[in-house]
Structures are given as structure tokens and as C-alpha cells.
Amino acid sequence: MQCFYHRDAAAVCTCKNCGRGLCPSCAVDVTNGLACPGPCEEEVRALNRVISRNKTAYEKTSGAYVRVAAFYATVGVLLLTAGLFDWRGQAWLLLPAGGVLLLAAFVHYTTGRRFDKD
């Protein structure tokens, strides 16, 4: 592959933004990637910022799922307990609601663990 800007020079890399071949004199190092000189430099920097924010959000996702699971489990146990004692004659509502929340807690917890493994 040849350099997009210098047709007589061999390309040593491609621009992270547009994919054009670049020779050593054209390639601009933007920390985590190489870019064409000019507009692609800022685009690659912006792309690197997005990737960094996504990594941070992904790392925090597991904890959020586990916290929500703990909340659902707590409320589910409270509702089941109230239903077992037929609190105010509402067992018909409290028992299924508690069961649904415990199921939701289980789903959220297992989903959070999947994020943690990656």
C-alpha cells in the first residue's frame, strides 16, 4: 500500500479515522493511534476520548447491576415476609410481588457478574 499523500512512498500505517495509508512523514501520533495530518488528528483524539469513557462506564456497570440486585432482593424479602404474615389481608399481592422482585434481583446479579468477567 502506498501513502495517500505521497504516492511514491510506502505506507507504514493507516489513519485511525479515515483508513488512508500513511508514510512515516505523514503519520501523526495522537497517543493511542495514528492519524492523517489536519482534520483527522482531532477526530482520532475525540475517538480516543469516547473509547476511554466507554471503558470507564463498562467497568462501573457491574457494580451498578449488583447494587440494583441488592435493592430488589431487600424489597422482595420484605414483601414476601409481609405476605407470609398476610399483612392487611394483602398476601395475594405481596407474595407475587416479592417473588417477582427476587427474580429480578437474580437476573440483575447474574448480568452484573457477566460484566465483571469480561
Q: Tens digit of pLDDT per residue, the chain (118 long)? A: 999 999 999 999 999 999 999 999 999 999 889 999 988 999 999 999 999 999 999 889 989 999 999 999 999 999 999 999 998 899 999 999 999 999 999 999 999 998 877 6
Give me the pLDDT at residue 10, please. 96
For cell 468477567, name the residue.
Answer: 117
CB 61 within 8 A of CB 116: no
In a domain, 71, yes or no: yes
Give me the pLDDT at residue 87, please. 85
In a domain, 13, yes or no: no
Domain count of the fold of the chain: 1
How far apart (Å, rounded) are the C-alpha atoms in residues 15 and 28? 9
Give me the pLDDT at residue 59, please. 86
Q: Which of 114, 82, 115, 117 is nearest to 98 (CA)?
A: 82
Q: What is the pTM of this model?
A: 0.64
In a domain, 46, yes or no: no
> 111 lies in which domain range?
60-117
Give me the pLDDT at residue 118, please. 63
In a domain, 40, yes or no: no
DSSP 37: S
In a domain, 97, yes or no: yes
